[in-house]
Amino acid sequence: MSTTAGGPPVDRFLDRLADFDVTHTVVAPDGVSDAIADVADEPAVGVELPDGLGELPGFVATDPSPSDLEAAATGVTHADLGVADYGSLALPATADGVEPVSLYGDQHVAVVAADDVVPGMPEALSALGDRFRADGDSVVLATGPSATADMGALVQGAHGPKTVHAVVVER
Amino acid sequence: MSSKRRASKAEHLRRVLATEGDAVAENTQGFNQGRYDSVADLEDYEGLKEEAREIKEDAIERLPDLIENLREAVEANGGTLYLADDAEDANEYVREVVADVDGDRVVKSKSMTSEELELNEALAGDGVDVVETDLGEWVLQVADEAPSHIVAPAIHKSRESIAELFEERFDPDRELETAEDLTMFAREKLGEQIADADVGVTGANFVTADSGTVALVTSEGNARKTVTATDTHVAVAGVEKVIPSVEDLRPFVELIGRSGTGQDITSYLSLLTPPVGSPTLDFQTDEVGSPDDREFHLVLVDNGRMAMREDDDLRETLYCIRCSACSNSCANFQQVGGHAFGGETYSGGIATGWEAGVEGLDTAAEFNDLCTGCSRCVNACPVGIDIPWINTVVRDRANRSEHGGDLDWLVEGLTPDEEPAGVDLQKRLFGNFETLAKLGSAFAPLSNWVAGSSVAGAAMERVLGVDDRRDLPTFQRETLKSWAEGRPDVEDPDRAVVLFPDLYTNYMDVDRGKAAVRALEALGVDVTVADECASGRAPLSQGMVATAREKAERVADDLLPYVEAGKDVVVVEPSDHAIFQREYERLLDEDDHEAMAANSYEVFEYVYGLLENGASETSLAAGDGHEVAYHSHCQQRTLGVDTYTTAVLDRLGYDVATSDVECCGMAGSFGYKQEYYDVSIAVGEELADQFSTEETGDRQVVASGTSCLDQLDDLLDRPSTHPIELVAPEPHGRAE
């Protein structure tokens, strides 16, 4: 809604990520593994990336147990969509655990395809509405790190990640 | 209200002001400024608000059908929908769910509806350990205090007081000093509790009937953990949270954070179509399980809402999305917060509707008078609820539910109103200000001497609750109407107007009325002064709707023939201009309201129009760089007509600095009332401070509203005046 006019949505998306304190790298699929390795802290947990979004580096453990989740410094997942107007990442609730992996670590690294970035909320909700109605899917639209102002000042990192990094994949 | 009750109410307000006022003011004013900044970035803010409003209107209209659609969707997803009649019914259901899974611990994310139900207490009665995981709610749970704000519940607590609380309760092994220390300590503590929990309870900001999706607007991530870490999810929501489709979330998603805390969007918008598809997490056995083991219960709560849906005046309350914009934009709330301006569960302007509908009239009547009708929340509300009107109606109902008092005879002669016996004497006095003003003027100056005497002052305070620290208005023997009768006609006028001589202008601040007439005449306008001068604003603000309607009809009968004859209506007092525009819609039939609204102008709006259309500004007093500090009236700002005053002053060469407080705090009778005097002064001091800086301290003070002028006169050492007196020919009141 804000200012999607002109420019491709990815440019706006990258600007808005920065507004919400999310760092990013833009890479080709074969650069994803290195891009994750550059920012991820160990121990790291993750879920296998969907086809076309590259590979996880070897040190990222998949199928984490609850204690792995609690101990993780970094969680690596894909995001289904990016929403340019808000720098939001759509994190699906999947059986392999995108939701807990993206939630428990101090850092979340999200891998999203540039061509999955939509301009604004109307496009995002229209895409998600179809999925919710058809498959009963659940998605969290995450914008920036978790935050609270309940303790007398703004603090990033309340119950969720303290930092977020987006790896934007140009296919 | 007895003088004893007034005194105890005043004492309670003073205590809240002293202990919580600073923290509440800092936070709410920060949110409020954030709202202005954030909505300014939207391309079509007004369009989004209209869309949000239409979706809510439609959803409430079709609610029974939508609930049935939702039930089908939830059941198709593998969950259960329970429609609870009231709090007891809802609690009973949740208790059974918890008992069925042998739940020992329930973790909760923030939910006002569960506070309304007192769900925590019900579960604790069964021996269940209930833990709030929102950090603010948890602080309050530890401190055993109630929320003071619907979005930021611990807004009244400072960082220091939270640190003290944690030290005392938990004796932590490291010192907790910064907000980050406190947050990390709470995260750790709560993380352990969430890991061991059996059931997760959330609220719901919206529920979509087409898919059974629960939308949660949060920032901390506790709602995500509450759902993910537990196998059984219970979402508790009022029935009004149901909207037709996922796509309908759009305007709400873009408006709720901006309207509330001034965030473009909160960190997390959870769109859950439960049971969710994440694996279960068992922290004891350190194993993950199948998503198929998850269970979901949606508890939709009526608890008075379906009756509100049938109530033409309370229905709008159900459109509320609990964003807190009405709290943050309210000058009184900014000073006292929800512990004074709130009921059992809800706080701020819209709380009157919620508490009246959910708890009952008595609960709402306890705090409802803190709404002065300033209307600053009206534009802030993302779903366009007429919150002042809800407050007025509930006040009217509360008035009518009171029993007759022994002292009614005291004000009987002064109160020829349409109200039943039993209406509070103080309210009847202020509501019948027309009679008082007429008598005061007829017997001036004697009436002024009597009213100003210490004996009368003490009696007024004891019997009527009129605070003795306030100066009463000074009535003028010569009214504006009698002065104007002798005016010669303007020869060959360009336009003709009828000036509405509001009660203040006609009987007290007559000079500003004379200045208005002179200014208009100088611009080539023929001015007739109308007969009626009581708009109905005074009784309306006391909740005396029938009396206000009777006055509105008299005004329309008086003014509309002039309008039909081609004259425009010009109004000096902003609150009366506003009642013609806004509240007459509720008091008059549609045609009369439209005619009044379309043809009436605030005096500077009219002067601006004349200048734009070729009238010569040299007919008015030039500013020559004269420095003024201007405070516009709250209702004027809501209508967006304050800009005409600054535009005209600029154009005439005045150097204008403006205030940016939401309201002066006087608000008609509010600041005169003994029980609210301290709140009124606290609000007013913010304005006085803005006009006492190095930049503004030497400027001449001008303000458009009578109340604002009274308040500024009480709080500043220098006098204040209406801007029309500055610009009218033969200027009066210009500090040369």
pLDDT tens figures, A64-104: 999 999 999 999 999 999 999 999 999 999 999 999 999 99
pLDDT of res. A5: 46
Enumerate the CATH 3.40.50.10420 domain ranges in chain B, comma separated: 3-305
Q: Which of A92, A126, A142 sits opposite B268 (nearest CB)?
A: A142
Amino acid at the residue B440: G
Tell me the pLDDT band of B449, cut-offs 50, 70 and 90: confident
Please write the tens of the pLDDT for every residue from A18-36: 999 999 999 999 999 999 9
Distance CA B511, CA B515 (A): 6
Please write the tens of the pLDDT for every residue from B488-547: 888 899 999 999 999 999 999 999 999 999 999 999 999 999 999 999 999 999 999 999
Interface with chain B: mutation pick from A1, A83, A85, A96, highest number of B CBs within 10 Å:
A1
* Chain B contacts in chain A segment 37-76 (CB below 8 A): 63-67, 69-70
**Could you tell me the end-to-end alpha-carbon distance of chain A, in angstroms, rounded to an integer?**
26
Distance CA B506, CA B631 (A): 22
* Chain B contacts in chain A segment 136-155 (CB below 8 A): 136-155
At the topology level of CATH, where does B3-305 sit?
Rossmann fold (3.40.50)
For the record, the structure tokens of B399 come out as 């008035």
Q: Which residue of chain A is at minimal alpha-carbon distance from B223?
A: A159
Residue B44 parent element (H or E): none
Segment B404-425 mean pLDDT: 66
Domains contained in chain A, CATH given:
9-169 (3.40.50.10420)
pLDDT of res. A152: 85
Is residue B732 predicted with pLDDT exceeding 50?
Answer: no
Q: Which of B219, B225, B273 sits opposite A136 (nearest CB)?
A: B273
Please write the tens of the pLDDT for every residue from B329-387: 999 999 999 999 999 999 999 999 999 999 999 999 999 999 999 999 999 999 999 99
CB contact under 8 A, A153 and B291: no
Is residue B412 predicted with pLDDT exceeding 80?
Answer: no
Distance CA B203, CA B310 (A): 25
Residue A46 parent element (H or E): strand A44-46
pLDDT of res. B734: 36
Please write the tens of the pLDDT for every residue from B567-578: 999 999 999 999
pLDDT of res. B224: 98
CB contact under 8 A, B187 and A144: no
Distance CA B182, CA B187 (A): 9
Q: Which of A65, A128, A158 sits opposite B221 (nearest CB)?
A: A158
Segment B34-49 mean pLDDT: 97
pLDDT of res. B672: 92
A70 vs B contacts (CB less than 8 Å): 191, 195, 283
CB contact under 8 A, B225 and A139: no
Is residue B23 predicted with pLDDT exceeding 80?
Answer: yes
Is residue B408 predicted with pLDDT exceeding 60?
Answer: no
A163 at interface of B, judged by CB pairs closer than 8 A:
no
Average pLDDT over chain B reads 94
Segment B116-139 mean pLDDT: 98
Please write the tens of the pLDDT for every residue from B229-284: 999 999 999 999 999 999 999 999 999 999 999 999 999 999 999 999 999 999 99
Q: With contact defined as beta carbons under 8 Å apart, do B644 and B605 qualify?
A: yes
Q: Which residue of chain B is at minimal alpha-carbon distance from A68?
A: B286
CB contact under 8 A, B288 and A65: yes
CB contact under 8 A, A94 and B278: yes
pLDDT of res. B116: 98
pLDDT of res. B437: 84
Q: How many CA atoms lie within 13 A of B531 on its CB side?
A: 10
CB contact under 8 A, A139 and B228: no
Q: Measure Cα distances from B38 to B34, B264, B422 in Å.
A: 6, 6, 46
Tell me the pLDDT band of A3, cut-offs 50, 70 and 90: very low
What dihedral do alpha carbons B307, B309, B311, B312 form, nearest 10°?
Answer: 180
Cα angle for residues B648, B649, B650 (degrees, 5° grid): 90
Distance CA B393, CA B368 (A): 10
A97 vs B contacts (CB less than 8 Å): 278-279, 288
Contacting residues for B328 by C-beta, under 8 A, at least 6 apart: B28, B29, B31, B32, B35, B260, B334, B348, B380
String of DSSP letters for B187-235: HHHHHHHHHT-SEEEE--SEEETTTTEEEEEESSSHHHHHHHS-SEEEE
**Could you tell me the end-to-end alpha-carbon distance of chain B, in angstroms, rounded to an integer?**
47
Segment B431-453 mean pLDDT: 81
Segment B190-195 mean pLDDT: 96
For the record, the structure tokens of B165 come out as 């609380």
pLDDT of res. B459: 76
Tell me the pLDDT band of B406, cut-offs 50, 70 and 90: low
Q: How many A/B residue pairs have CB atoms within 8 Å?
A: 204
CB contact under 8 A, A155 and B268: no
CB contact under 8 A, B288 and A97: yes
Phi/psi at B258 (5° precision): -65, -45
* Chain B contacts in chain A segment 95-114 (CB below 8 A): 95-100, 103
Please write the tens of the pLDDT for every residue from B211-232: 999 999 999 999 999 999 999 9
Q: Which residue of chain A is at minimal alpha-carbon distance from B246?
A: A129
Distance CA A14, CA A7 (A): 12
Contacting residues for B387 by C-beta, under 8 A, at least 6 apart: B326, B349, B350, B352, B353, B371, B377, B378, B381
Is residue B411 predicted with pLDDT exceeding 70?
Answer: no
What one-character DSSP code corresponds to residue A150? Answer: T
Q: Which of B41, B152, B246 sits opposite A149 (nearest CB)?
A: B152
Is residue B735 predicted with pLDDT exceeding 70?
Answer: no
Q: Measure Cα distances from B395 to B203, B363, B385, B392, B431 in Å.
A: 30, 12, 17, 5, 12
pLDDT of res. B486: 82
Q: Which of B220, B269, B288 sits opposite A66 (nearest CB)?
A: B288
